């Protein structure tokens, strides 16, 4: 009997959909919709390998769910046994859970901490529940992989009332991607003696960016913090800044809380510095054309990733492998080269030709490099289906 799981991965202005067989992990169908630009690009492919891409007039998560369900053949739709939802901020949730009204309320309460992410996930959930009434829905949290952070890593040096009573702490995000890449990197490092510790720094570089330190398969530190705004410079998010900047612009320039929130989340990062776009492809094109602000944006971006790699490597006492993943990490050879400049001090040497020509999953380190440099195609849906299956199996045992 075919038992399919529908996996919904909602971004701020996109939706990725995958249908997988719970038994063998085979991908039955895929779909994606992206309306970050002026038009919405929709793609659908089935297990027969046929794919179509088109520009459509609609946008939004509800419309995307509806269109995918319309395209999914009746036989595949009837074989669905559950729906998995990627939820960016899980707060105190450290494992995947079946979504109940109480769980939904707790996720909604975290909206202020992930304003670009949790609301789209809730909109996607509502659309999926309407399309598949009575189906089991499971929340898979991006924060869960980082539940193993050291106390020194997750505790902020703030008043105890803030940390103990108000729950202010580092949570970390992009956990589905980091979890998959940690396992894949371990497989690619399998030639190493098993008694040696595995120390991997994973750089998830997309519209959102984060890096993590994974020691022996467990995350011990990461760059994103209480919210997905912290850490590396991103497409439209600033990453780490002096917190007094926020106080300053409110006190001296009259900005409201809402205006500051919009500026830091939607108008900063690559977009803010370049003045062009939050899309790395457009910024790279402008830099090649001689735009000095685009060049500066790329310089800051690479500088901050490089800093994070050094910091995370030192946290683990060294580094055996560096991983690049996600949209920028997998496809922008120029950024990988820029980030790797000077990392020979950590024993990481890039092979320039391999970097330019690579297709994931590939080792692009020079032969002489002590540490390996991997480009890995992240597969968040693989982590999701494992988690959903685990929740369903626990329910069966009960």
Active site residues: 142
For residues 184 and 164, give the distance between their C-alpha atoms in angstroms, rounded to a whole number: 36
Q: How far apart are the first and last CA of the chain?
A: 22
Cα separation, 60 vs 42, whole angstroms: 11
Separation between Cα atoms, residue 275 and residue 295, nearest integer Å: 11
d(CA 210, CA 219): 13
Which phi and psi angles does 40 have, rounded to 5°? -95, 125
Q: Say if residues 135 and 82 touch (Cβ distance below 8 Å).
A: yes
């Amino acid at each position: 009997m075919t038992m399919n799981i529908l996996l919904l991965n909602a971004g701020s202005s996109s939706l990725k959909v995958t249908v997988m067989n719970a038994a063998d992990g085979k991908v039955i169908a895929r779909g994606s919709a992206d309306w970050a630009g002026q038009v919405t690009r929709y793609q659908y492919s089935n297990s027969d390998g046929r794919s179509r891409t088109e520009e459509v007039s609609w946008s939004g998560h509800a419309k995307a769910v509806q269109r995918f369900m319309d395209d999914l053949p009746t036989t595949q739709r009837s074989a669905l046994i559950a729906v998995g939802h990627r939820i960016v901020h899980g707060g105190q949730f450290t494992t995947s859970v079946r979504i109940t009204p109480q769980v939904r309320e707790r996720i909604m309460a975290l909206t202020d901490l992930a304003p670009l992410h949790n609301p789209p996930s809730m909109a996607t959930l509502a659309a999926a529940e309407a399309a598949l009434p009575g189906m089991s829905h499971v929340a898979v949290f991006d924060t869960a992989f980082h539940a193993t952070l050291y106390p020194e890593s997750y505790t902020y040096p703030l008043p105890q009332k803030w940390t103990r009573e108000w729950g202010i702490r580092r949570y970390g995000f992009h956990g589905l991607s980091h979890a998959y890449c940690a396992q894949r990197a371990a497989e690619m490092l399998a030639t190493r003696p098993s008694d040696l510790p595995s120390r991997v720094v994973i750089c998830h570089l997309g519209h959102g960016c984060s890096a993590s330190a994974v020691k022996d398969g467990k995350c011990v530190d990461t760059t994103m913090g209480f919210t997905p705004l912290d850490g590396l410079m991103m497409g439209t998010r600033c990453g780490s800044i002096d917190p007094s900047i926020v106080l300053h612009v409110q006190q001296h320039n009259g900005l409201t809380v809402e205006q500051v929130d919009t500026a830091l989340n939607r108008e900063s990062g690559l977009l803010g510095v370049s003045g062009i776009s939050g899309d790395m492809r457009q910024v790279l094109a402008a830099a090649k054309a001689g735009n000095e602000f685009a060049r500066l944006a790329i310089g800051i971006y690479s500088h901050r990733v490089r800093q994070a790699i050094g910091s995370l490597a030192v946290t683990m006492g060294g580094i055996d492998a560096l991983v690049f993943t996600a949209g920028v990490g997998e496809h922008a050879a120029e950024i990988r080269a820029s980030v790797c400049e000077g990392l020979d001090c950590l024993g990481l040497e890039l092979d320039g030709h391999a970097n330019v020509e690579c297709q994931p999953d590939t080792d692009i380190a020079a032969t002489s490099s002590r540490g390996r440099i991997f480009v890995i195609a992240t597969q968040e849906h693989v982590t999701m289906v494992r988690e959903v299956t685990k929740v369903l199996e626990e329910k069966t045992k009960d």
